[in-house]
Amino acid sequence: MQAWFLLYSGNGKDKKGHLIALLEQQGIEVYQPMMTIYKVRQDRPGQFRKKSVPLFANYLFVRFDHSQLNFSHILRLSGASYFVRSCNCFATMPSEFIEQLKQSLSEKKSRQGASHNDTKQLIKLIKNEPKDAERVKLLHQSLVFQAR
For 55-59, what is the mean pLDDT?
Answer: 87
Q: Structural domain boundaries of the chain?
A: 2-147
pTM of the predicted protein model: 0.73
For 76-87, what is the mean pLDDT?
Answer: 89
Architecture in CATH for domain 2-147: 2-Layer Sandwich (3.30)
Band of the pLDDT at 113, cuts 50, 70, 90? Answer: very low
Residues in Cβ contact with 135 at an 8 Å cutoff, skipping those fewer than 6 apart: 55, 56, 126, 129
pLDDT of res. 107: 67
- 121, 97, 16, 45: which is closest to 8 by C-alpha? 16
Band of the pLDDT at 101, cuts 50, 70, 90? Answer: confident
For 47-75, what is the mean pLDDT?
Answer: 89
